[in-house]
Amino acid sequence: MFKENFQNLFADFEPRIQTLINRVLKFEQENITYERIPRLKEQLDQIITEVAASKEAERARDADQSE
């Protein structure tokens, strides 16, 4: 229930934000023991880029369909 609540906390936000938050929370949880997470910037950027790229792919698909 707690875990569901944890995810439900963000249920009102748009799906991509939920996806990003879930992925970042998982990443943070996996690295919780580090005082300074190694390659934090790069790893976080990779997660954000992947979620952002899904929007870019959507945009390209929409453009193809409209053509």
Partner 1 sequence: MKLIRLTVENFRQYYGKQRLEFAKDGQKRITIIQGVNGVGKTSLFTAINWCLYAEGAYNIGELLSKEAISRADVGEKVQAVVELVFLHNGTRYSIRRTLQGTKQDGGTIATEISSDLTMMRTRPDGNAEPVPNPIGTINSILPSNVRTYFLFDGEKIDNFAKPEAAKEVKRAVFLVLKLEVLENAKKHLETAAQDYRRELKSVSSGALRDLIERDEAARAESDKASKRRDELLQEVESAKRKISDIGQRLLEQQNAQVLQQQRERVERDLKQRRSELDAIVSSIRDTTTGAYAVAAQSAITSALQVLDEKRERGEIPSSIRKQFVQDLLARMSCICGRDFENGSSEHKRLQALVESSMPSSLEDDVFATSAALHTCNERTEHLLLDLDAAMKRRTELVEIINNLEAELDDVGRQLKGSPLEEISRLEKQRQDFLADIESYNGEIYSLAAQLTELSKETTNLEAEITQARKKEARERLLSDKLDLAQHAADAIGKVYEAFANEIRLKIEAKTKEIFKKLVWKDSHFQDVQVSPEFNLEVIDRWGMPARPELSAGERQVLSLSFITAMSRISEDEAPLIMDTPFGRLSSKPRNNITEHLPDLADQLVLFVTDEELRDEARKNLEPRIGAEYRLEFNTQTSCTEIVEVTR
Shortest Å, Cβ 6 to partner 1: 7
Q: Which two tokens stand for residue 32?
A: 């919780």
CB 53 to partner 1: min, Å: 8
Instruction: Give the Cβ contact number of residue 1 at 10 Å.
Output: 6
Classify residue 36 by its DSSP letter.
S
- Lookup result for tokens 């390659």: 39
Contact, 51 vs 23, CB < 8 A?
Answer: yes
Q: How far is the CB of 48 from partner 1 (least distance, A)?
A: 5
Residue ranges in contact with partner 1 by CB under 8 A: 1-3, 6, 9-10, 13-14, 16-17, 20-21, 24-26, 28-33, 40-41, 44-45, 48-49, 51-53, 55-56
